[in-house]
Every structure is written in structure tokens, then in C-alpha cells.
Amino acid sequence: MIDEQMRVHDELLESAPILVENKIDPVYMRQMEILHNQERWRPGYNEQKRRIDDDILLSNLIRDAAPQLDCRLDAHILRFREHRAKNPRHKLSWLQAFTLKKENSIKDKLIKDSKKWVDDEPPKVALHYRKILRRTPFTKGGFPRIDSFKEKEKAKSPNDKPASGACLPGR
């Protein structure tokens, strides 16, 4: 009997028409418009008043707050520090001190002899090409080469006095 009911149920589901409503009834649209115009999403007068009072209270608490950081050490800590300075318990034996000194010297030597990981030097090929270009007086097209580096050196020489028309470009 249960199998028969399941079969009938499945047949009813398979034969049911598909109904899709993609429009909202005008009654509900009117209701949504009224609710939007009423601005019911805004907090009420009492809620706004409570928020204003809370803001005033918190701003007064923040304004009147005093720092609570204590940067002084208590007397018993200072006494313990003086006692430890007079009576150290952490003194290494001569063998431990020698081993530690030897390890540190090895580390220092490794750091001193190490090379940098990032190559930030200018490329040698580019420097060589720049040197060649500075030696040639003309460009590939036959025009005289303007070497801005030499012009800057000439401009920096102290015995050259600027001409009256120094602001004008050369011909």
C-alpha cells in the first residue's frame, strides 16, 4: 500500500504543471511604497535620543581618562637587581666561555667573508657600451653626439662666468 501511494505521489509530481510568477501584485507594491515613504527603517525618536546621550557620556569618559601606564619599577625589583649584580649566578665556566668566544669568532668571520645576495651593481656590459659611445664623436646617422655628461662637467667649472644670454639655448 505504501508503494502504491509513493507511485501515485510521483505520478502527480511529474504531471503537475509548472507555474512561475515573476510579477508582484499591485497591492504588495503599494504597501512597499507606503512603507518606504514612512521611512520605518529610521530609528525612532527615543532611540536617537539614547544614542546621543551615549555619545556624550562616552566622549566625556574619553576626555577625562588618565593614562594608566606605570613605568616605574617597584623597590623589591630594584633590590633584586642590585643583589644579582653583586652575586651573579649566571657566570660561565672557563670552558663554556672559551667555547662561546670561539663560536662567536667563527660567526664573525663568516659574516665578514660573506658576499651580498642581491646584485645591485651596474651591468659591466652596459658600462662598457657607455664608454664606447662616449669615445665616438658621431652617432650612427652621422650627427654629432651630444654628451650630456661632458656638458654637465663644463657647466660646473668654477672659472666659467655665465654670459648675459645664459638662459637661451646654444646654436
151: three-class secondary structure by DSSP: helix
Residue 11, pLDDT above cutoff 60: yes
Calculate mean pLDDT across residues 116-134.
87
Task: Report yes or no: 147 and 134 within 8 Å, Cβ to Cβ.
Answer: yes
Q: pTM above the 0.85 mark?
A: no
Calculate mean pLDDT across residues 41-45.
82
Q: Is the residue at 68 inside a domain?
A: no
Q: Is the residue at 92 inside a domain?
A: no
Nearest CA to 147 out of 160, 129, 130, 134 is that of: 134
Q: Is the residue at 55 inside a domain?
A: yes
Q: Which of 35, 61, 87 lies at the terminal end of a domain, its last residue?
A: 61
**In sequence order, what E strands does 10-140 have?**
none
Grid cell 633584586 in the structure block, residue: 80
Q: What is the pLDDT of residues 50-78, one digit of tens each?
A: 999 999 999 999 999 888 877 888 999 99
Task: Show the domain range for 137.
Answer: 124-155
Calculate mean pLDDT across residues 148-168.
57
Q: Is the residue at 160 inside a domain?
A: no
Q: Is the residue at 72 inside a domain?
A: no
100: three-class secondary structure by DSSP: helix
Nearest CA to 147 out of 132, 125, 157 is that of: 132
Q: What is the pLDDT of residue 171?
A: 57
Q: Is the residue at 95 inside a domain?
A: no
Q: Is the residue at 137 inside a domain?
A: yes
How many domains does the structure of the chain reveal? Answer: 2
Q: Is the residue at 139 inside a domain?
A: yes
